[in-house]
């Protein structure tokens, strides 16, 4: 069995004296693991950094074996992320969430394309929080827990005062439709609707909404594992920047 594809490196860990086990995200093979012979060498260590764009060839005797990778660098994103703490925290959050959420060897081509586009913005920290938020919304959609913000879930009409999100259904609720239940609903920051200036304060609030569904809907499907700490650290970086 063998295949070839491009992919984004999500993680690398030493295996034996000289090899490494890597996990990558590819458009056609999804999250996939394999052994890189010599992956722990001085030559390969700079290549096998999280976020790196790689040309990959995978080979195994049987399809369900872990197999081996040969990996050639196409694009390194290490420099872009190392120059800014927010970008580095964001890169770590993306890799950690993909490892946390995605089943092995299941293709998610749309999410892959959005991930590649997002990581190519690492050198633009000013727009990164909002770009990350939009990526996280796509992640929820891919996992079957996407938000429906197209109209009011209560009144069933297109409303111009959408202000809340139902924690049960993930659907938008207007101020008029919320009524006395408003204090039981999640806020709906304008940036979730693609509106407003998307200041860091607002993006952080919106990430609290997407985080709710990651924690309350996605995590239970995965055995109630806690969300990766890398996401919380990224959110804290956003809050620190807005306070600064």
Percentage above 70 pLDDT, the chain: 98
- Phi/psi for 114 (5° steps) reads -65, -35
For the residues 174-178, what does the mean pLDDT come to? 92
Position 242 pLDDT exceeds 80: no
Position 93 pLDDT exceeds 60: yes
Evaluate whether 122 touches 91 at the Cβ level (below 8 Å): yes
| CATH number, position 33 | 2.40.50.140
In the chain, how many domains are there? 2
The dihedral over CA atoms of 165, 168, 171, 173, expressed in degrees to the nearest 10, equals -50
Confirm whether 205 is domain-assigned: yes
Per the structure, the complete domain to which residue 199 belongs is given by: 79-147+188-243
pLDDT, greater one: 60 or 74: 74
| Beta-carbon contacts of residue 121 (< 8 Å; ≥ 6 apart) | 127, 128, 131
Pair 44, 109 in one domain: no
């Amino acid at each position: 069995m063998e295949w070839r594809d491009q992919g984004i490196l999500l993680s690398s860990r030493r295996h034996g004296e000289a090899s490494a086990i890597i996990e990558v995200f590819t458009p056609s093979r999804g999250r996939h693991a394999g052994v890189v012979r010599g992956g722990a060498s001085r030559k390969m260590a700079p290549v096998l950094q999280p976020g790196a764009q790689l040309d990959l060839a995978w080979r195994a005797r049987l399809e369900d074996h872990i197999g081996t990778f040969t990996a050639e660098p196409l694009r390194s994103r290490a420099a872009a992320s190392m120059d800014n703490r927010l970008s580095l925290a964001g890169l770590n959050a993306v890799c950690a969430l993909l490892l946390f959420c995605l089943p092995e060897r299941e293709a998610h081509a749309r999410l892959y394309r959005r991930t590649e586009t997002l990581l190519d913005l690492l050198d633009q920290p000013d727009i990164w929080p909002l770009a990350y938020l939009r990526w996280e919304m796509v992640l929820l959609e891919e996992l079957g827990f996407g938000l429906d913000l197209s109209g009011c879930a209560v009144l069933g009409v297109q409303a111009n005062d959408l202000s809340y999100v139902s924690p049960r259904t993930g659907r938008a609720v207007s101020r008029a439709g919320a009524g006395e239940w408003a204090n039981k609903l999640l806020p709906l920051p304008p940036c979730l609707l693609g509106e407003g200036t998307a200041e860091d304060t607002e993006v952080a609030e919106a990430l609290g909404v997407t985080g709710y569904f990651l924690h309350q809907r996605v995590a239970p499907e995965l055995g109630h594992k806690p969300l990766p700490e890398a996401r919380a650290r990224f959110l804290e970086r956003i809050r620190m920047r807005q306070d600064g």
